[in-house]
Amino acid sequence: MTRLILFNKPYGVLSQFTDRGSPAARATLSDHLALPGFYPAGRLDRDSEGLLLLTDDGRLQARISDPRFKLPKTYLVQVEGIPDEAALERLRRGVVLKDGPTRPAQVARIEPPALWPRTPPIRVRQSVPDCWLRVTLREGRNRQVRRMTAAVAHPTLRLIRWSVGDWTLAGLAPGYWREVTPPGGNDAGRRSGGRADVPRRGDHAASGPAACPVCGATSVAPLMETEGRSYWYCRACAARFLDPAQHPIAAEEHAHYLNHRNDPGDPRYRAFLSKLATPLMARLAPGSFGLDFGCGPGPALAAMLREAGHEVALYDPFFATDPAPLRHSYDFVTCTETAEHFHHPCREFARLRGLVRPAGWLGVMTCFQTDDARFARWHYRKDPTHVVFYREETFRHLAHRWGWDCVVPAKDVVLLRRPGGAEA
């Protein structure tokens, strides 16, 4: 019976099980996989990372590898410099390489994806910026993506293959694999007792994150695995969070957000936001200046605050991307239904704190997590873009560390006040 494996190949690993041609020992697939009879379907360079497919069926191996079937392959590519639209268009139309012109490709500039750190880290030049591209090809030449970006004067710094056809890297940390249903085959999960969706590293469980992404404490422990996702909790701040290796990439988040229907004129949505707006406005001086951070495509809260006589700037990494508002300070900053999306909450909260003036307020609205027994079934967890979950005690812990006041005026709402003097 045909079997198919998805493997997240780490940097520095050869896409083969043996290495007979090198005087120095190099890592191979056999260092990560004990799967007799499996062979890679396609290749991935030693200095590239990401999705590698393996199968025990020679016909399936040939079909996946054969360029005649034109399976799209998508790569996340960190490049040196910031390609302008002309460079991106050259990549899309095809560039001329030594072995001929490339076929048209899908190329877009994206926000930096939430990825595991590379070991060793990339070499960067402090004087030269870098950015990330999403590149989808329907051909496969030797080191093609690297040669393409070099041809437009933007060398590749890091390269991760994210998907091959409909198979993706989602939920797989480096060095881990899972078995999936092959095309036209039986459900591999049922054949293996329902465990095929769980990422595996050899026969050992995932080692997990080294520290809490909310408070930075190292006292983290496994919470549960459900629906192929691994969750952890922090003993210090009580936050629950998804394994960072399983975070969605920016393009997937953006596509999901476009399905939200948050109409600024909807009375029910306004009533929902009033849980934060009402207690916050009761504490603001007339004509205060604020920022709606993570305002989304329909900034209803900002509209409510403006109607009350306050001035409100907008910022959102997808829908209001002008960074100028992040260079000011404010009497108040709001963060409604946003903090649960933070891939790096410790860093994001540090940024938000820096935007709040002395004696100013940071208002956060997010659904508080209260019951681990219901966590797997909780609707909030099931949202694929929600990666961190807070308890009331999480915010009280953070406020104590910062030296800020903490008020919880209603369920799922916290108001944090910066001291009147210099920040602690």
Tell me which of 19, 45, 130, 266 is the catalytic residue: 45
Residue 45 annotated as catalytic: yes
Does an H or E element contain 89, and which? Answer: helix 85-93
Distance CA 175, CA 184 (A): 27
What's the DSSP call for residue 52?
E
Distance CA 293, CA 245 (A): 25
Indicate the SS3 state at residue 413.
strand
Q: 182, 64 in Cβ contact below 8 A?
A: no
In sequence order, the 6+-apart residues with CB closer than 8 A to the CB of 123 are 157
Label residue 273 exposed, middle or buried (CB < 10 Å: 0-12, 13-18, 19+). buried
Angle between helix 144-151 and helix 85-93 axes, rounded to 10 deg: 140
In sequence order, the 6+-apart residues with CB closer than 8 A to the CB of 149 are 77, 79, 91, 133, 155, 156
How many residues make up the chain in this entry?
Answer: 424
> What does DSSP say about strands 289-293 and 311-315: parallel, antiparallel, or unpaired?
parallel
What's the DSSP call for residue 204?
B
Label residue 367 exposed, middle or buried (CB < 10 Å: 0-12, 13-18, 19+). middle
Does an H or E element contain 167, and which? Answer: strand 167-168
Strand partners, 180: 4
Tokens 């910026």 belong to which residue? 129
Q: 132, 76 in Cβ contact below 8 A?
A: yes
How many helices (H) does the chain have, and how many strands (E)?
A: 10, 21
Q: 38, 5 in Cβ contact below 8 A?
A: yes
Distance CA 237, CA 395 (A): 8
Exposure on the CB side of residue 263, measured as CA atoms within 13 A: 4
Distance CA 144, CA 94 (A): 11
Nearest in space to 15 (alpha carbons), one of 173, 120, 103, 143: 143
Q: Which residues are catalytic?
A: 45
